[in-house]
Structure 1
Amino acid sequence: MTPTLTTPRLILRAHTTADFAACCTLWADADVTRFIGGRPSTPDETWRRILAYAGHWQLLGYGYFLVTERETGAVIGEFGLADFHRNVIPPFGDTPEAGWVMLPQYQGRGLAREALSAVLAWADQTMPRTVCMIHPDNAPSLKLAAKLGYTEYARGQYGEHTPILLERLAG
């Protein structure tokens, strides 16, 4: 059901129960979660996240991929699309929201761009528009989003946060 995408250096695939420990490591990293919730995730929160990803694929036909290095098999992060029904203003509606997280030791090598490019190329086949929201201080994610065609369309409100809302048209 979940496609497997490959790039020269990466494999993007469905999560499995065997990935739980690696996902716990990813989501327990304070650098990973600094702009996503502001605190490391507990193992039970990580488990619920994995189940939500599986539910996305089952119910919506899209979701998050676990991203591994082709050469080593090491988990480097998660990239994908979701509908979290966020109470963001202005609302996303039913437009898929792109998101990504990557372990710090893999950053700065172009792997995030490679992974997200693969996700968006796959999405472009059926999704005319995707959105994302990024904390204004998250310069690396803002830079990546811009490189892949995302442009700001609003300053949003999400709880007590004011993220930058961006959109990208397929193409």
Structure 2
Amino acid sequence: MTEIPILETPRLRLRGHTRDDFAASAAMWGDPRVTARISGRPFTPEECWARLLRYAGLWALIGFGYWVITRKADGAFIGETGFAHFRRAIPSPHAALPEAGWVIAPDHQGKGYASEAVEAITAWGDRHFGGSQTFCIIDPDHPASIRIAEKTGYRFAEATTYQESAVRLYLR
């Protein structure tokens, strides 16, 4: 199994998920403010548990995955970020690349945590993926996430669809 690296920024620590993260993760993913531009509906605790297991499996099977974002000062759960191969049915040749993603709990949004965390994972990805590009998909009506993508080096590549919804695909 791949050892999950710990990444640090001035304010944040990114680490692998544990069972102890379930309650905070489920609260975040169960919040309609978080999921409005992702799934359109809150996730159930059962779906959140499956997500936690998927995060652990990513590292074990493909050597990269998602981290929990915590605040260094007090260990507070801030959100989640990382890379995956979700094998999404996206009609784009870029869909075979590692996919970056991020989500921040509502109480921690607007404080620059997402940009700080995504900068950390993209620096890690630059080393780990040996120069290969990565991509992310974003709801076109989510300007905050678009700003984070662009601030961290992602550039608009194409408009496409995922699960019958319009998405913007960005490359880095």
Q: TM-score category by the smaller chain?
A: over 0.9
Which residue matches 2:160?
Answer: 156
Which residue matches 1:135?
Answer: 139
Unpaired runs of 5+ in structure 2? none
| Alpha-carbon contact 1:83-1:94 (below 8 Å) kept | yes
Unpaired runs of 5+ in structure 1? none
Name the SS for the 2:34 alignment partner: helix
Task: Give, as a single letter, the amino acid of the residue that structure 2 aligns with 1:155.
Answer: A
Could you report, residue by residue, the CA deviation over 1:101-138 in whole angstroms, capped at 9, with x for unpaired residues?
00122111111111110011011003221000000000
2: distance between equivalents of 1:121 and 1:97?
Answer: 14
Could you report, residue by residue, the CA deviation over 1:81-102 in whole angstroms, capped at 9, with x for unpaired residues?
0111000111434310000000
Question: Alpha carbons of 1:151 and 1:58: their partners in 2 closer, same or farther (altered >3 Å)?
Answer: same
Question: Alpha carbons of 1:51 and 1:25: their partners in 2 closer, same or farther (altered >3 Å)?
Answer: same
Which residue matches 1:9?
Answer: 11
| Alpha-carbon contact 1:99-1:132 (below 8 Å) kept | yes
| Alpha-carbon contact 2:138-2:146 (below 8 Å) kept | yes
| Alpha-carbon contact 1:15-1:50 (below 8 Å) kept | yes
2: distance between equivalents of 1:32 and 1:54?
Answer: 22
1: distance between equivalents of 2:157 and 2:113?
Answer: 26
Equivalent of 1:44, from 42, 46, 60?
Answer: 46
**Identical aligned residues as a percent:** 46
1: distance between equivalents of 2:44 and 2:104?
Answer: 17
2: distance between equivalents of 1:29 and 1:108?
Answer: 17
| Alpha-carbon contact 1:90-1:157 (below 8 Å) kept | no
- When the two chains are superposed, the root-mean-square deviation of aligned CA atoms in Å is 1.0
2: distance between equivalents of 1:93 and 1:166?
Answer: 11
1: distance between equivalents of 2:84 and 2:159?
Answer: 20
5 Å-filtered alignment, 1:35-114, equals 35-114=37-116
Name the SS for the 1:165 alignment partner: strand
Provide TM-score, normalisation by structure 1: 0.95
List 4+ stretches of structure 1 deviating above 4 A. none
1: distance between equivalents of 2:56 and 2:93?
Answer: 24
Name the SS for the 1:92 alignment partner: helix
Provide TM-score, normalisation by structure 2: 0.95
